[in-house]
Each structure stands twice: as C-alpha cells, then as structure tokens.
Structure 1
Amino acid sequence: MFDDDDLAEIRDGRESWEDETLAEYLEYGERNDRFATVSNHEIDRLYTPEDVADIDYDEDLGFPGEEPYTRGAYPTMYRGRTWTMRQFAGFGTAEETNERFHYLIDEGQTGLSVAFDMPSLMGLDSDHPMADGEVGKEGVAVDTLADMEILFDGIDIGEVSTSFTINPSAAVVYAMYIALADQQDVARDQVRGTLQNDMLKEFMAQKEWVIPPEPSLDVVTDTVEYAVTETPKFHPVSVSGYHIREAGSTATQEAAFTLADGFAYVEDALDRGLDVDEVGPLLSFFFNSHNSMFEEVAKFRASRRIYARVMDEWYDADAPESKRLKFHTQTAGQSLTAQQPLNNIVRTTVQAMAAVLGGTQSLHTNSYDEALALPSERAVRVALRTQQILAEESGVGDTVDPLGGSFAVESLTDEMEADIMEYLEEIRDLGDGSVRDGVLEGIDNGYFHREIQEASYEYQKRVDAGEETVVGVNDYVTDDDPDIDILHVDEGVQETQIERLERVKRERNDDAVRQCLDDLAEAINGDANVMPYIVDAVKVYATMGEIMETFEQQYGTYSEKIGLA
C-alpha cells in the first residue's frame, strides 16, 4: 500500500524518532521488559507501514461482503442490523427455563440459546444412577419430547432462532426440535437455529462423548445431510473453538483447530456425495473472545480470510455463502473470577467489544456471577445490557471494520494467518493430505491434547510468576468476600423431573417405542442416515437415554488411549 520511496522515508523517520525522541524516555524504562498477549504473542512497541508493506489490498483485504471477507462477512455489517444478542440460558426444569426465555425475550434478546444439564449432554436420562445430583444443575434437563414442548411453550419457533449447546446427544435434540416444529405446523424449511454438534472438538478438548470418534463423525455428517434437504435454514454444526480455548489453548490454536474441524466436516460430507456448495452454507462457527482485544480482532479477521481461501482452493467451493465464515462469539468464561466478581462486567465488556470489532454475527456475554453459580436474573440483565449499550450507545457498529488499516491490527492479522496455516498444514500432513484424517489421527495419538495442555501450563506459570496480572487474584487483592446474590437450583428438581419422565413412560405406547428403537438399530447397522429414525423415535416419546443407548450398543464406548503428556 506504500511504494518503496514512501517506505524508505518512513524507515528514516522511525530511526530519527528512536534516536531523538524515544531514547530519552527509555531512560525511565517501560512498565514491562516484554509486552505480550494472553496467548504470549509478543507485541511490538510501534507498528508502521513497514509492518504491512507486503499487504495487497485487493487480495488480502478487499471490501466487506466480498472475498476474502477479511473486513467482514457482509457489506453493511451492523449498519444493516446489529449482531444477534443470544444469551445462554437453562437451569432446573423446562418450566423454569421457559420462564427465563420469556423474560429474556421481553428484555430485548433477539435469539435463544439453550444450556443443558450434564445428564442431557451425556445422553443420560434423569433417572439414570450417574445422573444423581446433576439433574438441572448446570442447565435444563431434557429427557423426552415432553420436556421440549414445555421448554418452548408460548414461543413460536417459526419466529425465533434457537441455538442448542449440546454435542454427544445433539442429533436427538435436533430431532426433538424438528418434531416440535411439526407439532406447531412450522414448515421445516423455515426452522432457524444452530446445533453445536461438534464432536471432533469434544475429543480434543471438552471430553464429552458416548461413542468413538469415527462413528461420532458419521452421525454429525448424517445431521448435515439431513439438514440440506429438510431444514436448509438451520445450521446443523457450530464448529466450536470456544471450548478449545476454555481448555487452555492459545488464540492461534483455537482458530487453527476449529478451522481444521470445519474442514474435516466438509471432507466427510464430500465423501458422502454431497456438494461443497450444499454443505458450506450450513456450517457456522463458534469462537471465544478473550482479554487481549487486538489479538482477538486479528484472530477473527485472519480466520475469515483463511476460510475463504481454503474453501476455494482446497475444496473448489464456488458459492459465496460456502466461503463466508459466519460465527457466534461468547466472552471468555475462563477469564471470570470468583474474587471481586463485579470486575467481570468490565472483562466481559472488553471481550464483547473485541468480538464486535472483529465482525461477529451473534454474541453471548457472560454474567458476572458465573464463577460462583449459574447466572442470576440480575446478572443476566447486566450482561444483556452490556451488549445493548455497545450496540445503541457506543457507535462501535456505525462503520464497517473500524480497525481495518490499523498498522498494528493488519500486522497481527498477517502473523495470525501465518501461524494458523502452519498448524493446518501440520494437521493435513498427519492425514497424508486429508484434514479429516489428520484430525482423527491427532485425536488418536494425543496431538491436540498435548498442544492445548502445554499452552495451558505455560499460561498458568506466567500467572503464578506474576508475569500475567489477573486483577483481584494475583494483584489488587482485597480480603472482602463477594456479597453477591447467586442463583440456587432447587434440590427438588431431580424428583420433579423423574416424576415427569415416569409419567411419560406410563402414558406412551411402548410397542411403538420399541419398534422405533429397533428400526434405529437396523439403520445404524445398515449405514443409513439415522436422522429420520431418531425423529420417529422422539415423536413416540422414546427417551434421550434410550436412543443414545441404542447407539452405544451398536458402536461401543470410547476411552482415550493416552495419559497426560
């Protein structure tokens, strides 16, 4: 963007500045010997046009809504409409969560996002021995379609977009939502929402699974294939870097491993016989936004650019929607502290700002009390108001890609892109040219586990040594206990939920349930797409646990082959 004469003049000017102006101030020293991001990426004192001399505006930046989408997925971005404000909600019974949904909608939320309890996440019914003490504790309990009916009572799912954060049993929840749409006479091609359903990152980072990696991938691809024809406005996979980052990865690892998972799903769908331009538009992504604002902005911009280029060059995507990286962002739960919890409001604001400056399509802001308990109504309102103030008062969305052209941000974007691509090529080498096979091999041999573990360990060492300041934890510490009213989940939830499950089982047609489960088992053994059979099963009120047990009977269980590195 600058010719050689301009760069030479700038170089001379910088040298003069360092000798004549900077040197005097350096005698007093700087705050730190080294400045780095949360991910330990070193930050230079000053960035100039020299740092972006190799950028080709058309090839590397372009214009918003056009390849390579560095400057934004859509031409008008938030001038057209603000990002979707999607607060994560779910606790106790379906009735309690339904009440919270109505509250959030009344407060101005524009999308629903469902949190499930641990038994539901793991495909267990509330009456399973392993569910004891966990029912309704970290999300809502969903055992059968009856719970889903209550969860969305009074909510027209033809008018709302719903995100479901669930993975091993995601196909069952997807089937329940389709069955609910059929009940409400909402055409399936009008159903909108997102299913997380990212099993590859589970084996990498979050560690929730029921069946082994390869059959898990098969089921994910079944949902993608089904969505192509049945629910084309519903995203069947939200490729999730969020949990990779929460497990302790760097920003670079988060982006690289997430993109690798996305490309693995594309490859698996292509092997299934689907067209890349059928699959590409259905994929969405889910990223973390942490404290180092400019690193996060660079991560989002670099990820869009890489995705567009790889989908074009590696997979021959043609449709713009196949190359347009669309993503949801959640602020960093890992950064929240139980000490001085009101400080978390500021952390969340900084992280939300980074997500918006980076061009997210939807956003969840964490509540200040989440390091202590599930969020209270008051804390949820503050989190939502944070987004609304950003959207309505800050002016941050009034221009597209406002940090575009910043010497620092463009340089960091280039550095991030190079580092992410290095990881992607390494993963592809693990698979002898296939990203999918490289991801599966990396899961099997512990590659991802080791990379994330090492990054997490290095960060904690810096915190313990005081090289990373965590306000209220290792600096600016007080002896005051937090005076926060936190949400308490009624211990009677488990009993209530089990009673409803028993009632559903008494009233349903057991012969129909058994037939549907037998048909599902036959479909699994015959390599048929399992989604139609799961939809049939949930419609006769087969339980989450019964359906997932059918998969486990056919595929077996899975245990990691590796220990800690």
Structure 2
Amino acid sequence: MSGNKIDEIKATREKWLTQRSKRKDRDINFDTVSGMPVQDIYTPEDIKGFDYLQDLGFPGEYPFTRGVQHNMYRGRLWTMRQFAGFATAEESNQRYKYLLEKGQTGLSVAFDMPTIMGYDSDHPRSLGEVGRVGVAIDSLADMETLFDGIPLDQVSTSMTTNAPASILWCMYIATGEKQGVPSEKLTGTIQNDILKEYIAQKSWIFPPEPSMRLITNIFEYAARHVPKWNTVSISGYHIREAGSTAVQELAFTLADGFAYVEAGIAAGLDVDDFAPRLSFFFNSHIDFFEEIAKYRAARRIWARRMKEKYGAKNPKSWLLRFHTQTAGCSLTAQQPENNIIRTAYEALAAVLGGTQSLHTNSMDEVLALPTEKSVQIALRTQQIIAYETGVANVIDPLAGSYFVEALTNKMEEEAEKYFAEIERRGGVLAAIDQNFFQQEIADAAYQYQRAIDKKQRIQVGVNEFINPDEQMDIEILTIDPAIERKQVEKVQKLRRDRDNIRVQETLEALRKAAEGTENMIPYILECVRAYATEGEIVQTMREVFGEYKEKPTF
C-alpha cells in the first residue's frame, strides 16, 4: 500500500477517533491473556512495511506463515489424537480400541509417573502411583500388550515420555518387530524433549549433557533405521501449563529447538539428516487470536532460522510441524461442563492456526483421568469442527487481517528479544542453570493469578457467574488399588521367568557403551529385546551418568 494511502487512512482514523472518544468502554482489561496490550482497532498503519511474499507468502511455501502444506486441510484433515493411558496395559489397550472405533486417527500414550521417572512398578518410590495418571509400562511385555491387536504399520503413535524416551521408543520398535512390522514402516513421535523438563515440567533423570547425548543418538539411529519417526516433539505445552505467557511459550520452545539443532550439528550430523523429523507441541489457550498468531509466528521464525542460520538446504528442514493440545490449565473444577465450550474454542484456534494434529481435553480432566463419555465428547468436538463448521475449506482464512498480521509480527518481535537474552546468558543450558526460564515463568504465573484474584480477568464460574449451590454430579474415573498389586506381580514374574543371564549381558554391554562414545540406541534395544525392565536400564545409565539436581532459587 502506498505511503499516500497510509496517510489518508491515518487522517481518516483521527476523525474516527474523535467520534470514538465519545463512547465509553467497559471497565475491564482489554489485554490478551498473556498481558499483551491490544488496540481497539487495527488498520494498514499497523502493518506498515508488510511484504506479502516475504512475510506471508503462500501455504506450503517459505516462510510458511500460512501453513506447511500447499493444500492444508483440503487435502488431509489434522490427525485427531486423544491423549490416553491409565492403569495397566490391558485396560489402556481397550481404551485405544474404543477411541479408534469412535473415529480417532492416531494414538497418544500417557504413561504413569513411575514410568516417566524411570522406576519399575515394584520400586519403593512407585508406591501409590502405579497406573494413576497414565499406563504402567515396565518392559517389552507390557508394550506388546498395550498394542495387542493394533497394527503398528497402520497407526501413528505419539508417546509422551522424555527422560526414558530412548527406552520406551526401543520397546515400541521391538513390539513392531514382534508384529512383523519393520522399523522403516513405523510412524509416530516420541516427545523426548528434556530441555523443557529442566525448564518447566521437572521429570528429569540424568544431567543435561548425557541427556542431550541420548537425544542426538536417537537422531542418528532414526535417520538410518526409523526414517518416518518424529524423533523429538519440542514442547511448549508444559511451559504454558506451568504459567508462561504465549510469547514465553513461543520463545522458549523455539530456543529449545535451536539447541537441539546445534547439538545434532555438534555431534557431527548433517542438519538435513535429522531436522525434517523434528516436530513441535504447542498449547492452545483461551485467547483465540493470540494463539493463532503464536502458531503463525512460530512457523515463520523457524523457517528463517533453519535456512539462514543453520544452513539447511532441504525445504523439509524449514517446516515447523506441530501437534496441539487444548489448555489443561484453562479448565475449571467449578461448573466443569463449561470446559466443553472452552475446549471447543481452543481447538478452533489450533485449526485456524494450522496444526497438524490435535488433542482436545475432556471436561473432567481437571478432576481426574477422563471417562469414556467425556473423551467421546472431546473427540466429537474435533469432528464437528472438521466436518460441520466449514473452517477446513479455506487455507489460512484469517491471513490479511490487520489485527492477526500485526499480532503475528508482535509475537515474532517479542520472541526475538528473548532469543537475544538467552544468547547473552550463554545459551539454553546456561540459562537453565541460572534459573532464567524458571523465574520468568513463575513471574508470569503470579501476574495471571493476581489478575484473576482481583477480577481484572474474568473466569466464568470461578470469580464471576458463580453458582453458590453447585453440586458435583459428573462421573469420575477411579483407579482400583488392585491394579497396582497386579502390575507389581506381573513385573516380578517377568524377572523370574526370563533369561536373566542374557539380561545381565545386555545391561553390561549398555554400561560400556554409556562409558564410551558409541551410539547407545542399539544397546538399549538389545536390553529391551532381552526383557530387561525400564528401571534396570535406567539404573544402569544412572550409575554412569548420575542424576540431575536443580539449583534452588529464592
């Protein structure tokens, strides 16, 4: 748009403001959920210098602001992937089959806390936690049961595991072998994002350096043997759930991604050998336009960095592909049916933002693991968006909106400020050691809660529109305590019945590999095939690598 036209719009806007000033606004905070100021109206003035081809372009074309595929949802809808797992492998297997029968198109495995932390179900630290917040997986035998009757060459599986990701991934590969499915045909994702654990979620085992070694080992092994697998899901979701703003989620997540790229290059890998299999995992919070702008900015930033800084030549290395989950932290225990509505809008923002796969939270997840009924409602939410609303018919329908483009630019600008600060501090690992990320998130979480407490931000059913006589009358899923006893007996029987000489031989070979510089994945895979338990494999590596201890901050 010419400068003269901009000047004309500016002059007309000044006249409009004269009339606008006579109208009184509601006495509320008009900032975004993250506290970013929002103007009352946006015009071409707010995107001066905007270059359509350089800043926006076309879907499937650099810099991918409008999406990573040329035809987006007109060609293929996003993968509908409900996060599920509880009790034992048998129970979770039945839930997966139920979800697939209801039209889900991908699986997403939730593991229990002992599995996440690398302990077997009969370890003293596992007491009371087995099968509570996810499925208990102690060995290859459990993984085989988890996917019994589910053909791994036809289903894409995401596994939310980080510190022990290499072990659970090897269990999945070995399960494929048992089904006659070669690793080259397996599709899915392991979260495998340990940096986010140090920053926000706190489920680490080993110190950063050996953890990063395991991740680059996975990059290398997957490039050769499991080429269709996404080797890391760089996760902003947990950063946001810990209380960050949208800009912090965007900046910290991409900074982690840059750190993984640099680690892969430092390990001697060609960036184009592993970067195409990196994926991302974002939160979709309740502020509709802020979330959409976040996704669009993320694609543009990643594409530019990969091409211009890291020298990636393969266009697939420039693509930021991402899974989205609606915001668990936006759900409320009060009036839980309202969570269906929140989730619907958050899911719609993810779709309009161009997500590749999506999990919609169930209304009761703030109270317990979801029931089958609430899971079905959550899945139906996605299906209604996909098949009834018409939003999947047009690629990036919000492109060109003065507000959306200005907000996308602002998100990118603010993220770049964080990148500069992280670099000034010596990079991601140094900033973690300095508690930089942790403090930034804590401050943001405090400000958000303070705004709710002061009613500067309204949360329906919590600080306004309250039902004083509300009764909790929705069904809650409970886990039978007998489940834990059953799982403990199972892992103890496994240890008695397997070839323990072979187990010890494979664990000793892994120990030697950990002490040296070899890629550890083939050794972990041999341990898994011998039915070594996850806890035994973790302990072998823990004895070599040690455990991570976070520095306290006050």
Q: Normalised by the size of structure 1, how large is the TM-score?
A: 0.97
Which residue of 27, 30, 40 corresponds with 1:32?
27
Distance in 2 (alpha carbons) for counterparts of 1:420 and 1:481: 43
Letter in 1 for 2:58: F
1:120 aligned partner: 115
2:10 maps to 1:22: no
1:461 aligned partner: 450
Distance in 2 (alpha carbons) for counterparts of 1:91 and 1:137: 6
Letter in 1 for 2:450: K
Q: Give matches, 1:12-411, under 5 Å.
A: 12-19=11-18, 21-24=19-22, 26=23, 29-32=24-27, 34-411=29-406
Q: Which moved more, 1:184-193 or 1:336-345?
A: 184-193
Q: Is the 8 A contact 2:28 2:456 kept in 1?
A: no
Distance in 1 (alpha carbons) for counterparts of 2:397 and 2:203: 39
Q: Secondary structure at the match of 1:481?
A: coil
Distance in 1 (alpha carbons) for counterparts of 2:386 and 2:487: 39
CA deviation vs aligned residue, 1:234-280 (integer Å, no higher than 9, x gap): 01100000000000000000011100111111111111111111111
Q: Secondary structure at the match of 2:155?
A: coil
Distance in 2 (alpha carbons) for counterparts of 1:130 and 1:349: 38
Which residue of 490, 495, 498 corresponds with 1:508?
498
| Stretches of structure 2 lacking an aligned partner (at least 5 in a row) | none
Q: Which moved more, 1:31-40 or 1:137-146?
A: 31-40
Distance in 2 (alpha carbons) for counterparts of 1:178 and 1:153: 14
- State the Cα distance separating 1:555 from its structure 2 match: 1.0
2:427 maps to 1:451: no
2:528 aligned partner: 538
Q: Which moved more, 1:207-216 or 1:136-145?
A: 207-216
2:487 maps to 1:497: yes
Q: Secondary structure at the match of 2:21?
A: helix
Letter in 1 for 2:485: E
- State the Cα distance separating 1:8 from its structure 2 match: 1.3
Q: Is the 8 A contact 1:34 1:42 kept in 2?
A: no
1:435 aligned partner: none
Over the residues paired in the alignment, what is the CA RMSD in angstroms?
0.8
- State the Cα distance separating 1:338 from its structure 2 match: 0.6
2:512 aligned partner: 522
Q: Is the 8 A contact 1:126 1:143 kept in 2?
A: yes
Q: Is the 8 A contact 2:187 2:228 kept in 1?
A: yes
Q: Normalised by the size of structure 2, how large is the TM-score?
A: 0.99
CA deviation vs aligned residue, 1:94-141 (integer Å, no higher than 9, x gap): 000000000000000000000000000000000000100000000000
Letter in 1 for 2:543: Q
Q: Secondary structure at the match of 1:155?
A: coil
CA deviation vs aligned residue, 1:263-311 (integer Å, no higher than 9, x gap): 1111111111111111110100000000101000000000000000000
CA deviation vs aligned residue, 1:184-218 (integer Å, no higher than 9, x gap): 11121111000001000000000011111111111
Distance in 2 (alpha carbons) for counterparts of 1:361 and 1:545: 34
Letter in 2 for 1:450: Q
Letter in 2 for 1:303: A
Q: Is the 8 A contact 1:118 1:135 kept in 2?
A: yes
2:431 maps to 1:442: yes
Q: Is the 8 A contact 1:445 1:562 kept in 2?
A: no
- State the Cα distance separating 1:563 from its structure 2 match: 2.3
- State the Cα distance separating 1:429 from its structure 2 match: 2.3
| Stretches of structure 1 lacking an aligned partner (at least 5 in a row) | 432-437
Distance in 2 (alpha carbons) for counterparts of 1:138 and 1:407: 43
2:417 maps to 1:417: no
2:552 aligned partner: 562
Q: Is the 8 A contact 2:284 2:349 kept in 1?
A: yes
- State the Cα distance separating 1:32 from its structure 2 match: 2.9
Q: Percent identity?
A: 54
Q: Is the 8 A contact 2:153 2:186 kept in 1?
A: yes
Distance in 2 (alpha carbons) for counterparts of 1:453 and 1:163: 29
Q: Secondary structure at the match of 1:397?
A: coil
- State the Cα distance separating 1:33 from its structure 2 match: 5.2
1:484 aligned partner: 474
Distance in 1 (alpha carbons) for counterparts of 2:287 and 2:2: 32
Q: Secondary structure at the match of 1:533?
A: helix
Which residue of 534, 541, 544 corresponds with 1:551?
541
Letter in 1 for 2:71: T
Letter in 1 for 2:50: I
Distance in 2 (alpha carbons) for counterparts of 1:225 and 1:493: 38
Q: Which moved more, 1:352-361 or 1:184-193?
A: 184-193
CA deviation vs aligned residue, 1:432-454 (integer Å, no higher than 9, x gap): xxxxxx11001111111111111
- State the Cα distance separating 1:148 from its structure 2 match: 0.3
Q: Is the 8 A contact 2:133 2:369 kept in 1?
A: yes
Distance in 1 (alpha carbons) for counterparts of 2:149 and 2:337: 34
Relative to 1, partners in 2 of residues 1:33 and 1:109: Cα closer, same or farther, differing over 3 Å? closer
Relative to 1, partners in 2 of residues 1:91 and 1:209: Cα closer, same or farther, differing over 3 Å? same
Q: Which moved more, 1:212-221 or 1:122-131?
A: 212-221
Distance in 1 (alpha carbons) for counterparts of 2:425 and 2:16: 48
Q: Which moved more, 1:52-61 or 1:191-200?
A: 52-61
Distance in 2 (alpha carbons) for counterparts of 1:249 and 1:481: 32
Which residue of 461, 478, 483 corresponds with 1:472?
461
Q: Secondary structure at the match of 1:164?
A: strand
1:5 aligned partner: 4
Distance in 1 (alpha carbons) for counterparts of 2:214 and 2:516: 13
Q: Secondary structure at the match of 2:81?
A: strand
Q: Which moved more, 1:75-84 or 1:180-189?
A: 180-189
- State the Cα distance separating 1:561 from its structure 2 match: 1.3
Distance in 2 (alpha carbons) for counterparts of 1:209 and 1:46: 45
Distance in 1 (alpha carbons) for counterparts of 2:50 and 2:298: 16
Q: Secondary structure at the match of 2:280?
A: strand
- State the Cα distance separating 1:482 from its structure 2 match: 2.1
Letter in 1 for 2:182: A
Distance in 2 (alpha carbons) for counterparts of 1:216 and 1:268: 11
Q: Is the 8 A contact 2:360 2:382 kept in 1?
A: yes
Q: Secondary structure at the match of 1:426?
A: helix
- State the Cα distance separating 1:318 from its structure 2 match: 1.0
Distance in 1 (alpha carbons) for counterparts of 2:480 and 2:49: 60
Letter in 1 for 2:441: I
Distance in 2 (alpha carbons) for counterparts of 1:405 and 1:525: 55
Distance in 2 (alpha carbons) for counterparts of 1:246 and 1:255: 13
Distance in 2 (alpha carbons) for counterparts of 1:230 and 1:527: 20
Q: Secondary structure at the match of 1:43?
A: coil
Distance in 2 (alpha carbons) for counterparts of 1:175 and 1:159: 19
CA deviation vs aligned residue, 1:436-481 (integer Å, no higher than 9, x gap): xx11001111111111111111111111111111111111111212
Q: Secondary structure at the match of 2:354?
A: coil
Distance in 2 (alpha carbons) for counterparts of 1:525 and 1:113: 33
